[in-house]
Structure 1
Amino acid sequence: MKKALVTGCAGFIGSHLTQRLLNDGVTVIGIDGFIDNYDVAAKLRNLAEIGKHPAFTFHSTTLQTGRWDIWLENVDVVFHLAALPGVRNSWGKSFADYVSHNILATQELLEACLQRPKPPVIVVSSSSSVYGTMQGTVTNENAPLRPVSPYGVTKEAMEQICSVYVKAYGLPVTMLRYFTVYGPRQRPDMAFHRFFRQMMKGEEVIVYGDGQQSRDFTYVTDAVEANLLAAQHAVPGDIFNVGGEREIKLIDVLSIMGTLMNLTPRITYQNGPAGDSLRTCADIQFAQQRLGYKPKVALEEGLRHQLAEIRSQSKG
């Protein structure tokens, strides 16, 4: 890989991926539309160091502007992370925005890559939200897709449109289903970031639901590694679960956070919002076998890194 396009390069995972590519000597074209689903200042912080790199060219725009001849010139690999995230905000009139950013923009990208003399490899970021609330022990990629939120529906539809282009044209697309990614630069609306901030301020921690919901949490550098491995080893049409090292209940995560901060969290429980999955747990055997993927960062270590970054921001 000599040159890559990263959509959503100023976001949480996208900025980490861009930084890793640049460190590995790859020339990167980055696109980000600064959608105001959360504080744009956070995205600007993510770009602060990356933007100084001589091998990085940044375009501040949405994919819908369609300057594909410029963006895709001599690109070997496209990492497609641009999306409108978040389960809770995807209901009501906002659903049209999710359709635009998650489905229609992806189709435009696929069509543009198809027109290239040699289409680049395309690694598309999806979500465990396509599964809904998981049943049984662990969930592999062949499990039924039963999203319980409009956001999950758009991610499933995005996967379907990618699969159509693979089947019809052999376009080299692979998809990664992330299981709750966390770590430094995590979106401020996400649970871990919010919990740490509330505890640092001495506030009660607001937990939606009863705290017994469980998740498979994935540290951000492991998600980045999955992208790089998929670009190298995936077969067109492959779909991979990208998970962490274990499933854990949210209430137990809060206990770990409290230990790291030398305090006992004061918790207030509120009704869980519509669309939240009660349980996620990834079977990552396919990613292990095909890609050599293996999560390297344990939850306790990852939380320490995230806490250190939040404390550093607070001092700044």
Structure 2
Amino acid sequence: MRIAVTGGTGFLGKYVVEYIKKENYTPLIISRNITDNSKKDYEWRITNYTKEDLIDKLFDVDAVVHLAATRGSQGMISEFHDNEILTQNLYEACYELNITNIVYASSISVYSNEKLLPWTEEQPPLPKLMYGVSKLACEYIGNIYSEKKGLHVKNLRFAHLYGFNEKNNYMINRFIRQAFHREQLVLHAKSVAQREFLYAKDAAKAVVCALKQGKLSGTFNIGSGEALTNYDVANHINNIFENKGNLLIEDPTADEGIRSSYMDSSKAKSVLGFWPDYTFSEALTEIRTLMKGLDYVPLWY
């Protein structure tokens, strides 16, 4: 089976492409830009994501994993409209080419009501950020094409993703690099909110589980089953990276400014056959081993 991966050079895309190959399928990277390494390791095609160009690029494909998206600054919905247009163009091209097996990467960001934790697929979504609004809009586009045009779109709502060598300064990635260098980790406030994190390798596994259900449509929560406070995250990282106790909480009485976010992923287990392979600590152990093989690990990006 030849599987096209839009956004295949991105953070999650690299994991998905590797997992597809491990399962003895043939990955095809679809992207606006292709890195030199991707050119060497995998088949790739550059696209501008118009319907016509996608029809040209996907002519020999059996299934599609749709990861391509712009994140934006969260303030203006206009920053995300390209994602919705891209998604419809892709589904139109798939319809024309009779490619019906599609997996779409959605997000836990479509939820927000803490009174309903853990969130299930049957609950009404309530995004609080424009990113979540756009993800939900793309889910609905997929649902329409599944119902009216015979596509089988599987929307996977991933928990907060993390992985190896992600080049940003989000808390979890910054803490990993700081602990690697035996630096002190700093929490600016008390730690109460519990959030669910998912190793990107497990997210890639979920994508392949969904691909194996070619005639299935619907929405599925994909999580790790672990809900951790920021303090838990910092402690786990320090323990795994042999930086134990090197943690400062600046103001234990302050509001940390985040809310709990975790899901019930039992539907994915029963319908897709997906179970995460890694606990948070197990994933950190693997990440640390991989980091030791890097020539240089910066504290900040």
Correspondence for 2:151:
171
Does residue 1:83 correspond to 2:69, yes or no?
yes
Within 2, Cα distance between the matches of 1:59 and 1:272? 44
Does residue 1:304 correspond to 2:288, yes or no?
no
**Structure 2 length normalisation: TM-score?**
0.87
Counterpart among 149, 165, 175 of residue 195 in structure 1: 175
CA RMSD across the alignment: 2.6
Q: The residue matched to 1:31 in structure 2 has which SS?
A: strand
Correspondence for 1:231:
211
The amino acid across from 2:19 in the alignment is R
Q: The residue matched to 1:115 in structure 2 has which SS?
A: helix
Within 2, Cα distance between the matches of 1:250 and 1:234? 38
Q: Percent identity?
A: 26
Per-residue CA deviations over 1:126-170 (Å, capped at 9, x if unaligned) read 001001243344211111211111111111111111111112112
Correspondence for 1:99:
81
The amino acid across from 1:90 in the alignment is Q
Structure 1 residues 90 and 3, CA, compared in 2 at 3 Å: closer, same or farther?
A: same
Within 1, Cα distance between the matches of 2:89 and 2:118? 34
Within 1, Cα distance between the matches of 2:167 and 2:86? 21
The amino acid across from 1:27 in the alignment is T
Structure 1 residues 98 and 189, CA, compared in 2 at 3 Å: closer, same or farther?
A: farther
Within 1, Cα distance between the matches of 2:3 and 2:105? 15
Structure 1 residues 25 and 143, CA, compared in 2 at 3 Å: closer, same or farther?
A: same
Counterpart among 217, 223, 227 of residue 243 in structure 1: 223
The answer on whether the counterparts of 1:9 and 1:31 sit within 8 Å (CA) in structure 2 is yes
**Alpha-carbon offset, residue 77 of structure 1:** 0.8
**Alpha-carbon offset, residue 90 of structure 1:** 1.7
Counterpart among 251, 270, 286 of residue 289 in structure 1: 270
**Alpha-carbon offset, residue 119 of structure 1:** 2.3
Counterpart among 115, 119, 125 of residue 139 in structure 1: 119
The amino acid across from 1:83 in the alignment is A
Correspondence for 1:253:
233
The amino acid across from 1:21 in the alignment is I
The amino acid across from 1:58 in the alignment is W
Within 2, Cα distance between the matches of 1:73 and 1:133? 42
Correspondence for 1:20:
19
Q: The residue matched to 2:40 in structure 1 has which SS?
A: coil
Correspondence for 1:38:
none
Structure 1 residues 132 and 66, CA, compared in 2 at 3 Å: closer, same or farther?
A: farther
> Any residues of structure 2 matched to 1:35-74 within 5 Å, and which?
44=35, 48=37, 50-53=38-41, 56-64=42-50, 66-74=52-60
Structure 1: gaps of 5 or more residues: 35-42
Structure 1 residues 207 and 310, CA, compared in 2 at 3 Å: closer, same or farther?
A: farther
Per-residue CA deviations over 1:173-209 (Å, capped at 9, x if unaligned) read 1110000122214352432112122344565545576
**Structure 1 length normalisation: TM-score?**
0.83
Within 2, Cα distance between the matches of 1:105 and 1:207? 38
Aligned length: 293
Structure 1 residues 139 and 187, CA, compared in 2 at 3 Å: closer, same or farther?
A: farther
Structure 1 residues 208 and 51, CA, compared in 2 at 3 Å: closer, same or farther?
A: farther
**Alpha-carbon offset, residue 112 of structure 1:** 0.9
**Alpha-carbon offset, residue 234 of structure 1:** 5.8
**Alpha-carbon offset, residue 20 of structure 1:** 1.9
The answer on whether the counterparts of 1:125 and 1:178 sit within 8 Å (CA) in structure 2 is yes
Correspondence for 2:199:
219
Structure 1 residues 27 and 200, CA, compared in 2 at 3 Å: closer, same or farther?
A: closer
The answer on whether the counterparts of 1:204 and 1:268 sit within 8 Å (CA) in structure 2 is no
The answer on whether the counterparts of 1:178 and 1:218 sit within 8 Å (CA) in structure 2 is yes
Per-residue CA deviations over 1:227-279 (Å, capped at 9, x if unaligned) read 11111126543110000032111211101111123331235579767xx5x11
